[in-house]
């Protein structure tokens, strides 16, 4: 009896040790599976980010569209007219500081057909439509240029303005412009956020109910989204 009890206790110890090893091994394998899953998720996230930077539409986000930033040329006249015709009254007022019920067609045509030595524009294109427009007009001495920007309402606050203004600034620097100037209405808070996001050294001063803005182009920030092509959801 005593011998069988000792044998039974020894067997119990061996079984407990075996099951304990099995539990530990299972836990180790489970932890390994979790680590592998986390690592795979990280790699997939990096791959998706790289596809976005390259201009591809991320998987599972079919409603996203690639945004192309391009120089404005006379052939863009019809699409530019279309974009300005879709602006809300608020966007028109913030852009022109005048309560136009509709942006005059002759004014938009003048943007498309301007002398590129004096006035330069870039546009944001989604599919076949222009959805944003930024431009500058050089001063007589050529070192400064007055800039303006507008983004179609449904594309606002999605990074399109940063793409446009950054590309416009780079083009201006290539042409020898050193400083952007502009006038921003006091109630146009998104414009201040945009300028501060793109330029590290922008300054503004209040005058007659609006702000005079001055942005040295050398203070252009290095934004992670600055690519000629990016995928953005409208």
Residue 106: how many CA atoms within 13 Å on its side-chain side?
0
Q: Residue 191 contacts by C-beta under 8 Å, 6 or more apart in sequence?
A: 94, 149, 184, 185
Alpha-carbon dihedral of residues 207, 208, 211, 216, nearest 10 degrees? -50
Q: pLDDT tens digits, residue range 152-181?
A: 999 999 999 999 999 999 999 999 999 999
The model's pLDDT over 57-78, given as tens digits with 9 standing for 90+, comes to 333 444 567 899 999 999 999 9
Mean pLDDT of 96-109: 96
d(CA 114, CA 72): 10
Mean pLDDT calculated for residue range 185-205: 96
Q: How many CB atoms lie within 10 A of CB 79?
A: 17
Distances (CA, A) of 111 to 74, 79, 133: 9, 12, 10
Residue pair 85/152 in contact (Cβ under 8 Å)? The answer is no
């Amino acid at each position: 009896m005593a011998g069988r009890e000792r044998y039974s206790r020894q067997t119990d110890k061996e079984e407990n040790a075996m099951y304990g090893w099995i539990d530990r091994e299972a836990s180790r394998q489970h932890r390994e599976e979790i680590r592998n899953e986390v690592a795979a998720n990280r790699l997939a996230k990096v791959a998706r980010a790289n596809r976005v930077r390259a201009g591809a539409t991320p998987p599972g986000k079919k409603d996203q569209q690639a945004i192309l930033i391009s120089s404005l040329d006379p052939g863009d006249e019809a699409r530019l007219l279309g974009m300005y015709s879709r602006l809300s009254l608020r966007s028109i007022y913030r852009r022109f500081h005048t309560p136009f019920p509709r942006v005059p067609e002759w004014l938009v045509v003048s943007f498309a057909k301007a002398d590129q030595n004096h006035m330069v524009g870039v546009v944001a294109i989604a599919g076949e439509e222009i959805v944003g427009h930024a431009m500058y007009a050089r001063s007589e001495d050529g070192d400064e240029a007055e800039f303006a920007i507008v983004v179609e309402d449904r594309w606002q606050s999605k990074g399109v303005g940063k793409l446009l203004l950054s590309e416009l600034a780079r083009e201006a620097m290539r042409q020898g412009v050193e400083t952007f100037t502009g006038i921003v209405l006091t109630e146009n808070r998104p414009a201040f956020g945009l300028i501060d996001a793109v330029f590290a050294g922008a300054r503004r001063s209040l005058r007659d109910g609006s702000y005079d803005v001055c942005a040295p182009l050398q203070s252009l920030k290095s934004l992670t989204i600055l690519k000629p092509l990016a995928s953005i959801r409208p």
